[in-house]
Amino acid sequence: MPVFRAAVRVVVLPLVVCCAALAATDPVYKAMREAGLADSLVVENIVLKRDAGVVTLKSGAIGFVAPAMGRDTVAVFAGEGEFDFTPQSPVDRNYMKSLTGQESVAEQFDRALFCFSDETGREIRASAKTPSSDARLAEALRNFRKLLRSRPETPHSMLEAELTSDAMDNIEADLLADLYNPRAPGFFSAYLHGRKHSDLRFHVRPRGAFPEMSTPAEVAVINLDIQAPQEGIWYLSHLQGELRSRTASSDENQRTVEADRYRIETAIAGNDHFTATTGIEFHAVTEGDRVIKFSLLPSLRVTRVTSGGQEAAFIQEDRKEDGSFYVVMPEAMAKGSAHQLLMEYSGDRVVHKAGGGNFNVGARESWYPNVNTFRDHARYDLTFKVPKQYTLVGVGTLAKQWTEKDYACTQWVSETPIAVAGFNYGSFKNKKITDPQSGFVIEGYANSEPPDSLARARNVALVGTMSPAAMMNVPMAQAQAAVQIFSDWFGKPEFTRIAITEQPELNFGQSWPTLVYLPLFAYLDSTQRYGLLKRISPGLTDFVDEVTAHEVSHQWWGHMVGWSTYHDQWLSEGFATFSAGLYLQFTEKTPEKYLKYWQNARLRLLEKNAYGRRANDAGPLWLGERLDSLRNKDAYQAVVYGKGGYVLHMLRQMLYNPKQGDKLFIDMMHDFVGQHRNRNASTESFQRVAEKHMPHEMDLAGDGKLDWFFSEWVYGTAVPRYKLDYTVTEADGGKFLLKASLTQSEVPPDFMMPVPLYLDFDGQIVWLGVFRMRGSSTSSELHVTLPKKPKRVMVNYFHDILEAL
């Protein structure tokens, strides 16, 4: 579920005139939003220390924007300044160095904007007394506001997409949240116009420095510099105090509220216009907060919000600005108290006609106002009204179906709490099969006609024969097999149905609870696929074999078992990669595709790109979405999907033994799913489950832990190389003597790995035992008597270990 892809695939539609005046605006917010400079002071050597960062205002002037509720919250600086920042941990210093060439930041700047709800105002005023009339300040304020309040139609980089997502910061709204809650701990944000980096941002925010990245980390240094090699999140971690006292945790709860139930009524008109209401029941997590931030597509314009029948103020700037949606509750909420909100909104850009009865669903997660999507589970009751020639497929169970005039109406109710709601929409034919063993229902939905994009651009004769609906049986059968395999290996699914649905994009799939989007290519026969792929992208053939299994496995990885933070997303995407491999192993007649699958993942990780970089070198798996950069554009995909898959695959291979086969691994996976059902897993909680199930032979460090394995493969980037030397000679009694030794190289001295040795007896592969390797070294020579002569002796036959090319 890559965020950036979702964000850039926006079809540009004619501009819709937007007229929704803010029905109920908060007066304090309105004043802050429009406030100009109130007073300016001369500054000389003012030092602001915040966490691991030091902002020094050497000389110049600072202007304060008119105070809000009697407090300074925004100040702008022009002059000579310096920002210094040194990360505490080696992982963070290494990553910063890999991006910037330096282990720490030392940036000279000439302008800065400070936004704060902490003591910054008092601190500056205590040491600056002389009034200034620096003309640069007003212009600097204007420029910073323009920069921080604008939202591009199409983001130009993954980082820009994250910073300008549906939940982008509206700084004044964030400040308002703290002003209204005297208990709020106070935050500090500095936006720097540096000499080397013109948009460098430093945040110390106890409520989360970068919530869009799904992490409770409070401190961030971000360099937004589109198409520049140093663009990236240079630092994102917990407060220094938490790191020092080892209390930093991915499970830290910074939510303001938690959703319990959504009731959403949505009407889609013939012109794709969207009109909807969402009722949400939630409870307050914090004491005294009034401001709640929702994720909602900014082109869906909110017209009214009520709380228990009473009008509530809300904030939603224009969709081309910082148009995120915030509600201001009429009163401060007590911790644990239950509340309700009813929100009315309408707009466009959620669904787009793609021709032939096909639709792109553009706003896949933010078509309704939501909090903590993918992180919290809530119950949903969804009603849709759509033109009656179309079919809408929702999540959960179809509770009711009826028609109203020209509209087909359906109601969908979630059987169990789910992490997100979605839908698909089109002129669908549908089918249904019930798995005889489990009673699990597989529904298929596909269009009879291909979308215009295909009909226009490609081989017309070929397109004429295409009917995704005619091919629907193939992905449905794939889904049925996948559900059977994953139920055996991971445990029973949480849901009793799954809808396998077509969407008109060629090359991506996505998964919701009980609902899967498959790319158009999954519905083409091999002749059609070949005819189109030779023009479009030859690499897609493999993708088509794997995509159904990958997306179906997300019913387990992502939906049944969530992930805590961006560090842990490999537990969703990597596990889905592993699952698709498992599917190939059990559904293909020969092991070829399965072995090629892991070989391809290995090539994507270890082949050098045009800049001479390997995806694997972008940084450890633990860094997740932060791994992409200009010179390593595919690192996130290769590492989080590919290496994440390898980590689970390597565990499986280590847990294997000839007597029990995969039993230990299967037990571990059932336990992992059982412990995290409807909860979020973290790398640490997965490691604890793995440690519980590992046999004595995997305890290479002798401490009952798998720290050795996780530090190598999740927190490290080393990749070993192996060289096997062996001889097979005739021995007494018609037997054969195997002498073998193994060399491990290109790894740090403490790098340990058990390496399995295999024999090939005329195509039958036999597991013989393992070499326990440590550092760059050669094992002692192994002597084994064999009953017959093997054709080959091999290590790493099943890609048991991610090995250097």
Residues that bind Zn ion (CB under 5 A): 573, 576
Can you list the positions of beta strands (E) in 211-337? 219-223, 232-237, 257-268, 274-284, 291-294, 300-307, 310-311, 313-315, 325-328
Q: How far is the CB of 511 from Zn ion (least distance, A)?
A: 7
Which CB atom, from 326 or from 583, has the smaller least distance to Zn ion? 583
Question: Nearest distance from residue 694's CB to Zn ion, in Å?
Answer: 27
Q: How far is the CB of 509 from Zn ion (least distance, A)?
A: 7
Nearer to Zn ion, 87 or 642 (CB): 642
Residue 697 makes CB contacts below 8 A (sequence gap 6+) with: 754, 770
Q: Minimum distance from CB of 572 to Zn ion (Å)?
A: 7
Q: Of 315 and 576, which has the nearer Cβ to Zn ion?
A: 576
How, if at all, do strands 497-502 and 441-447 pair? parallel
Give me the amino acid identity at 469: A
C-alpha count within 13 angstroms, C-beta hemisphere, residue 397? 11
Tokens of 133: 């009339």
Please state the closest distance from residue 514 (CB atom) to Zn ion, in A: 16
Least distance to Zn ion, CB of residue 507, Å: 13
* Closest to Zn ion by CB, 231 or 625: 625
**Pairing label, strands 721-730, 736-745:** antiparallel
Report yes or no: 431 and 397 within 8 Å, Cβ to Cβ: no
| Closer by beta carbon to Zn ion, 220 or else 576 | 576
Residues 233, 201 contacting (CB under 8 angstroms): no
Output 32 or 576, the one with its CB closest to Zn ion.
576
Tell me how far apart the alpha carbons of residues 425 and 715 are, in angstroms, rounded to a whole number.
42
> Which is nearer to Zn ion, 155 or 509 (by Cβ)?
509
At 302 the three-state DSSP class reads strand
CB of 553 to Zn ion, least distance (A): 8
CB of 214 to Zn ion, least distance (A): 15
| Minimum distance of Zn ion from residue 483's CB (angstroms) | 16
CA angle 295, 300, 304 (to 5 degrees): 90
CA distances from 134 to 60, 142, 190 (A): 8, 14, 20
**157: CB partners within 8 A, 6+ apart:** 4, 226, 227, 231
Nearer Cβ to Zn ion (62/576): 576
**Position of tokens 């499986």?**
652
From residue 492, how far is each of 413, 440, 664, 678 by CA, in Å?
21, 10, 18, 13
Nearer to Zn ion, 264 or 500 (CB): 500
C-alpha dihedral, 480 to 483 to 485 to 489, nearest 10° = -170
CA dihedral 665, 670, 671, 674 (to 10 degrees): 160
- Of 137 and 576, the one with the shorter C-beta distance to Zn ion is 576
Of 214, 204, 201, which Cα lies nearest the Cα of 178?
204
CA angle 523, 529, 535 (to 5 degrees): 135
Annotate 139-198 with DSSP letters as a single string: HHHHHHHHHHTB--SS-SSHHHHHHTSTT---HHHHHHHHHH-TT----EEEEEEESS-S
Instruction: Pick the closer one to Zn ion by CB: 159 or 549.
Output: 549
Q: In whole angstroms, how close is the CB of 646 to Zn ion at the nearest point?
A: 15
Strand ranges inside 390-527, DSSP E: 391-393, 397-404, 407-413, 424-426, 428-434, 441-447, 497-502, 510-512, 515-518
Q: How far is the CB of 550 from Zn ion (least distance, A)?
A: 6
Q: Which is nearer to Zn ion, 352 or 550 (CB)?
A: 550
Return the number of the residue (573 or 628) whose C-beta is nearest Zn ion.
573
The distance of closest approach from Cβ of residue 98 to Zn ion in the complex, given in angstroms and rounded to an integer, is 26
Say how many C-beta atoms besides its own lie within 10 A of residue 236's C-beta. 24
Give the shortest CB-215-to-Zn ion separation in angstroms: 19
Q: Torsion angle, CA of 515/521/523/527, rounded to 10 degrees? A: -170
Instruction: Give the residue with the Cβ less far from Zn ion, 557 or 622.
Output: 557
Give the chain's length.
805
215-232 in b/e burial notation, b at 16+ Cβ within 10 A?
bbbbbbbbbbbeeeebbb
Q: How far is the CB of 512 from Zn ion (least distance, A)?
A: 12
CB of 414 to Zn ion, least distance (A): 21
Give me the residue whose beta carbon is nearest to Zn ion: 576
* Among candidate residues 683, 565, 679, 2, the one with its CA nearest the CA of residue 237: 565
Nearer to Zn ion, 168 or 576 (CB): 576
Q: Which CA distances in Å does 464 have to 350, 357, 448, 468?
A: 29, 15, 11, 12
Minimum CB separation of residue 573 from Zn ion in Å reads 5
763 contacts 663 by C-beta, under 8 angstroms = no
Q: Which is nearer to Zn ion, 294 or 512 (CB)?
A: 512
CB nearer to Zn ion: pick between 109 and 556: 556
Q: Min. distance of Cβ 655 from Zn ion in angstroms?
A: 24
Which phi-psi region, left, alpha or beta, contains residue 672 (left: φ > 0; alpha: ψ -120 to 50)? alpha
Collapsing DSSP to helix, strand or coil, 691 comes out as helix
| Pair type for strands 325-328 and 313-315 | antiparallel
Please report where in the chains the tokens 């982008």 appear, as a residue.
Answer: 168
| Shortest Cβ 668–Zn ion spacing (Å) | 21
Q: How far is CA 127 from the centre of its chain?
A: 44
